[in-house]
Amino acid sequence: MAKSVIITCAVTGGIHTPTMSEHLPITPSEIATASIEAAEAGASVIHLHARDPETGKPDPRPETFMQFLPVIKQSTNAVVNISTGGGLGMTMDERLLAATTASPEMASLNMGSLNFGIFPMADKYDTWKHDWEKPFLDMTKDFIFPNTFATIEYALKELGEGHGTRFEFECYDLGHLYNLAYFVDKGMIKPPFFIQMVFGILGGVGADLDNLMHMHTIANKLFGEENYEWSVLAAGRHQMPFATQSAMLGGNLRVGLEDSLYIGPKQLAKSNADQVRKIRSIVENLGLSVATPDEARERLALKGGDMVKF
C-alpha cells in the first residue's frame, strides 16, 4: 500500500517581503493563525520563521518566536519545525538561537553553502512598503548563504544531540546530498532521516523534472530507500507541479508562502491554507492519503510534542 503523504507548510519564510503580498503573515498573531489554518487544512508539519512585527523583516529573536509557538502548540497537533536558515545575512548563532531556546521536534538544516539569489524579484516592484526590502533583495547578487561542514556539525551537535531535535535536511543541489552522506557515514545522522529537496532557487538546482528524478536516484544509491523519507519543494510557479510529482513518485511535499506567494498563474494565494487545500485535493485525487501529525512523528522518529520547551 502507498505511504501517506506528509505535507509540510512553510508559512512565511525569510525570502519574500511585505510589499510582495498583503497575505504574507508578518505578526505573531498572523503567523499563529496561518499555521493553525494550514494544520486544519492537512499540513502535518509547520515550518516556521519569525518576522519583526513592525517591519516584516526576518527576525531571529526567540522572544518573537515565543509569541506564536505556544499558540500553535495549544491549537493544533502539528509538528513544529523551526528554521535554522533564518534570514539572509544573519549569523549562524542568530540562526540557531530560536531552535536551541524552543527545543522543537524538528528544525531545518541547510546542507551546503550556495549563492542565494533573490535579487531578480526586486525588478517587479516600483514602490516599497519598507525601506529595508529593496536593499535586502539587491544584496543577494553578491551573497553566499553560508552552511559549512563546521556549522552543519555544530547544529547537529547542539540541536540534534543536545535537544533531540530532528532535521529537515534542505538540499538545494546534488552536492548537498553528498554532504549529507558525509555526516551519515560518520554516524552523526541516523535513519530515518528527512530530506527536503529544494528546486528553483537561483544559485541552486533548477526546477527541471530530470533534476528531481536524478536527485532521487542518487539519494536512493547513497542512503538506501528504506533509510530516509524524502520531500520536495519548488520555488514560485514550480511549487504545485513539483509537489504533485513528488507525491506521484512516492515522496512527500512542502507548500506555503515561504516558497511561493501564488495559488495559480498571476493569482496571489490568499492564505497558506489555500495552498494546502489545493495540494491535498490533488494528492487525494491521485488516490493517496495525507499523513496525520502522529503518522509523521512515527515515520520521522520525532521525540513528541510534549518534549519541547514552549
Catalog residues that contact ligand KMH under the rule CB under 6 A.
13-15, 83-85, 87-88, 108, 110, 116, 145, 170
Task: For Zn ion, give the closer residue by CB, 13 or 60.
Answer: 13
From residue 85 to residue 104, the character string flagging contacts with Zn ion as x (rule: CB under 5 A) and all else as - is x-------------------
* Bridge pairing between strands 252-255 and 7-10: parallel
Residue 83 is a binding residue for Zn ion (CB under 5 A): yes
CB of 87 to Zn ion, least distance (A): 9
Work out what residue 256 binds among Zn ion, ligand KMH, none; the CB cut-off runs from 5 to 8 Å by kind. Answer: none
- Residues in 13-42 at the binding interface with Zn ion, rule: CB under 5 A: 13
Which residue has the CB atom at the shortest distance from Zn ion? 83
Residue 196, burial from CB neighbour count under 10 angstroms (0-12, 13-18, 19+): buried
CB of 178 to ligand KMH, least distance (A): 19
User: 134-139: which pairs have CB atoms within 8 A and are 24 or more residues apart?
Assistant: 136/17, 136/57, 136/88, 136/89, 137/17, 139/88, 139/89
CB of 234 to Zn ion, least distance (A): 14
Report the distance separating Cα 45 and Cα 33, nearest Å: 15
Question: Would you state the cell numbers that stand for residue 131, as one nine-digit string?
Answer: 525601506
Question: Would you state the cell numbers that stand for residue 253, as one nine-digit string?
Answer: 511535499
* Bridge pairing between strands 252-255 and 166-171: unpaired
Work out what residue 145 binds among Zn ion, ligand KMH, none; the CB cut-off runs from 5 to 8 Å by kind. Answer: ligand KMH
Question: Would you state the cell numbers that stand for residue 1, as one nine-digit string?
Answer: 500500500
Question: Would you state the cell numbers that stand for residue 283, as one nine-digit string?
Answer: 494528492
Work out what residue 110 binds among ligand KMH, Zn ion, none; the CB cut-off runs from 5 to 8 Å by kind. Answer: ligand KMH
Residues that bind Zn ion (CB under 5 A): 13, 83, 85
